[in-house]
Amino acid sequence: MPTGGGTSDGRDPGADGEGPLTGRLLVASPRLVDGIFDRSVVLVLDHGDHGAIGVVLNRPGGVAVRELLPRWHPLATPPAELFTGGPVARNALIGLARLAPGDATAASDPTPHPPGWRVLIDDARPVGTVDLQEGPGAPEVRAAMIGARLFSGYAGWETGQLEDEIDEGAWLVVRAEAHDPLSADPEGLWRRVLRRQGGSLALLAGYPPDPAAN
């Protein structure tokens, strides 16, 4: 079974791919039981003719954000840990942030954007990528952010690889909601995302981790 870890060519994980899966969630089907991707939920950061890049949202890594990037610790949503984003380039750090709602009575797009901001989930409180090296920015920019999450590494797919894995039934593609990437209960994210789909997908939320044990 493919495992979505094929791209390691040094491309910027926040590149400007706007393919049809950018900003979508990939939910591992019960068929995908390989390591980090077992019951994983992946947010697609970039998808295009070159392939795809995403981060696993539900793998807390156990290392406190304050130990690596203390400037970001006050903004880190609990659990304030560095998450394991995927098996590729584990020394690469990727940041996601959620912004507070803008003032609808002010000028267009009044909310200050953090350095490197690129929206992925359009919402009243949108989620997007940020430049961690630049820091949170000026006080008014920090005030505009209502949460951040940091990831070590990412998942990558070569051209056509992700599409093949989806066709094989390894991944379920669903709409992302703005509260998903910074969930305070990441371990429960797989079940919650499936349950809200309804129908046959909701039934998968009750699939046992080890069917042989039931």
- Helix and strand counts by DSSP (H, E) for the chain: 5, 10
Q: Please provide the CATH number assigned to the domain covering 25-213.
A: 3.40.1740.10
- Residue 1: the pLDDT is 39
- Residue 204: the pLDDT is 83
Mean pLDDT of 169-189: 96
- Residue 36: the pLDDT is 86
CB-CB neighbours of 179 under 10 Å: 17
**Cis peptide bond prior to 186, omega within 30° of 0:** no
- Residue 171: the pLDDT is 96
Mean pLDDT of 77-91: 95
Question: Would you say residue 145 has pLDDT above 90?
Answer: yes
Question: Would you say residue 7 has pLDDT above 50?
Answer: no
Sorted by sequence, the CB contacts under 8 Å of residue 210 that are 6+ apart come out as none
What H or E segment, with its residue span, contains residue 99? strand 88-99
What H or E segment, with its residue span, contains residue 62? strand 60-64
Residue with the larger pLDDT of the pair 111 and 138: 138
Question: Would you say residue 16 has pLDDT above 50?
Answer: no
pLDDT tens string 185-206: 999 999 999 999 999 888 888 7
pTM: 0.86
